Amino acid sequence: MKKVWKKRLIAMAAVLLVAPVVLAGCKGGSKTESAPKDSDGNIIMKIGQQTQPNSKLPEGDTYDNNAYRRLIKEKLGIDIQSSFEATGDDYTRQVSLAIASGDIPDMMAVSRDELEELVDNDLVADLSDVYKKYASDNIKSIYDSFDDMQLDAATFDGKLMAIPGTANDFGPNMVWIRQDWLDKLNIKLDQDGNHAISLDELQSTAKAFKENDPDKTGKAVGAAFLPYLTSGDHGGSGFTATAIANAFGAFPKQYLEDSDGKLYYGSNTKEMKDTLSYLKTWYDQGLLDPQFGTRTFDDITAMMVNGELGIVPGPWHLSDWSLVQAKTANPNALFTPFALENQNGDGKVNGISKPSTGSFIVIRKGFEKPEALIKIINLIFDEVPNSKDMATEFPEIYSYAQSAVDGSVRPVNIELFKNLSEIDDAVQASQAAEGKTNIDDITNFTVKNNAQKIKAYLDNPTGADPTDWAVYASRLLAVNNVMNGVREAGIFNEIKPPVILDKIDATERNGAQIAKLEEETFIKFITGEESLDKFDQYAKTWNKQGGTAIIDEMQKALEKQE
């Protein structure tokens, strides 16, 4: 085994100071070991389990003992046991400690950088042969839909060293607006029905909401943004001004190619300066939250739930986990999502679309049955969701779906979706719910379940469960109407940043520093603490403090890929 990197040794020491850790008992190595078995003869597989604080598991079930693990034991003879369980940064620290010690569990989810380190230190198994032999045709077709980009990211020297998740971060970004407030104030948006509104319409709506305070809280604001202001991905765009920046032709926190193939940073462009100038007018007019720059995510969530905020930017699935809180607190609350048209008046909608990976699932080198991972993936991501009668075949999993149990309870913490399948699935569910097709003809359980929830809301909007409204809003209003709608209308200007697979060392050295510089400076520009005349000086400082080094290293990595 190669020498473990010094930074991991430091990380291990740090973890030992802050948290107790339980590690798996087997180390990586070239020798294959016989897997231990439980009293029933099932192979024991120790895993690192990434958890979530609100899993919605039914009483009596845990991450260590739940429907997925019971199904895997019954169908595959694999007894999955937790080597460690942790949430968020705590999980990252557990992984860091395991890698630093050279003692990793039989299976765990890791980042791309962690995968690279595991490969460098010869700790994980080559999965090339077991993937080719055991992966179902449907699972292989998922990766094929992305031209195997994710598999390439998990491949080192021609060997597949992990099974990657798939993700399609597709635009456009959007804003969710309180429809019941629009109705109360007799405001008509989207007169042409293209599911996109202008910045002028957005600003006049913000002004009307602030001045009229529809929920009579005495605290209404036009808009509220998080201190980091923008997001580099659609999924993380909640409570940010990313959609507004896109309308100006700015793509902040993105590394893009110019016409000569040279990389540049999307936060440091003239279009971003124009965005900041526009947001400053909102601040100066009192439309923007006066505490901009200090609000936390929880703060803005509370404002939205309490009826102080009626314009909420965010991704297509914002209703599922955030807006539903407002709907639960106030059954009359309704939100409609809109894309934002370009400020130049061409009627187009800008957005970023880029395929990416989620986590990577690795198997410890030396584990006797590496094919177990592929068999689990076939079962959980193919056989179960494509069951024609899940209620009968997999009743516990069916019950989980009805209760919206978080997907993190699965022992394989990745998502596997075909490229743009979220759009196709939402369109299929929406058409069936609206009676255009037959719900019973849908073969995919998840799509069918969504169609049933959408129909439940459409049949009884006032009496439906808030979770039914959340699915209706995310799948029908956001994906079917907005995301699919702008594509069908031919008005979506799709921007595709280059995908760089290599780890960028300069980002590790300087990324946090220049991200902090961007956040703090942009706050000052909007609040007027610093003049926007200094924007070019900010960009030069960004370059000097590490930005140029990052772009140069990325450029070399991109050219090497090509």
DSSP of 196-239, one letter per residue?
EE-HHHHHHHHHHHHHH-TT--S--BSB---TT---SSSTT-TT
Is pLDDT of 29 > 80? no
Q: Which residues have a Cβ under 8 Å from the Cβ of 560 and sit 6 or more positions away?
A: 502
**Tens of pLDDT, residues 500-527:** 877 789 998 999 999 999 999 999 999 9
Q: Encoding tokens for residue 202?
A: 């957005």
Helices and strands in the chain: count of H runs, count of E runs: 24, 14
pLDDT at 143: 95
Asked if 486 contacts 479 with a C-beta cutoff of 8 angstroms, the reply is no
Between CA 282 and CA 272, with CA 235 as vertex, the angle to 5 degrees is: 40
Per-residue pLDDT band for 18 (boundaries 50, 70, 90) equals very low
310 and 209 Cβ atoms separated by less than 8 Å:
yes
Q: Please state, for a pLDDT cut of 90, what percent of the chain lies above it.
A: 80
Q: Is the pLDDT of residue 448 over 50?
A: yes
pLDDT number for residue 91? 93
Mean predicted confidence (pLDDT) in 476-493: 97
Give the ranges where 318-389 is alpha helix by DSSP (H). 318, 324-329, 371-378
The number of angstroms, rounded, from the C-alpha of 291 to the middle of its chain's C-alpha atoms is 27
In whole angstroms, give the CA distance from residue 526 to residue 427.
Answer: 39
What are 82's strand-pairing partners?
47
| Residue 14 in this model has a pLDDT that exceeds 70 | no
- How far apart are the C-alpha atoms of 146 and 139, rounded to whole Å? 12
The Cα 461–Cα 332 span in angstroms is 10
pLDDT at 402: 83
Give the confidence band of 325 by pLDDT, cuts at 50, 70, 90. Answer: very high
Assigned token pair, 181: 């407030």
CA 489 to chain centre: 26
Quote the pLDDT of residue 13: 37
pLDDT for 132: 98
- Residues near 225 by Cβ (< 8 Å), separated by ≥ 6? 239, 240, 241, 279, 288, 289, 292, 295, 313
- According to DSSP, residue 319 is labeled I
Q: Quote the mean pLDDT of the chain.
A: 91
Q: How many CB atoms lie within 10 A of CB 479?
A: 24
Give the distance, in angstroms, between the CA of residue 76 and the centroid of all CA atoms in the same chain. 30
Give pLDDT, residue 9.
37
User: pLDDT category, 43, cuts 50, 70, 90?
Assistant: very high
**pLDDT tens digit sequence for 245-265:** 999 999 999 999 999 999 999
Inter-residue contact 51 to 63 (CB < 8 Å): yes
Percent of the chain with pLDDT over 70: 94
Banded model confidence at residue 495, pLDDT cuts 50, 70, 90: very high
Return the number of other C-beta atoms located less than 10 Å from residue 497's C-beta.
18
- What's the pLDDT score for residue 24? 38
pLDDT (tens digit per residue) in 151-176: 999 999 999 999 999 977 888 999 99
Mean pLDDT of 432-460: 94
pLDDT at 197: 98
Q: At 11, is the pLDDT very low, low, confident or very high (cuts 50, 70, 90)? A: very low
pLDDT of the residue at 537: 98
Residues with Cβ within 8 Å of residue 355, at least 6 apart in sequence: 146, 149, 150, 166, 167, 168, 169, 419, 499
- Which pLDDT score is estimated for 82? 97
8 Å CB contact between 56 and 50: no
- Of the listed ranges 64-68, 103-107, 421-425, the one predicted with least confidence: 421-425
In the chain, the amino acid numbered 436 is: K
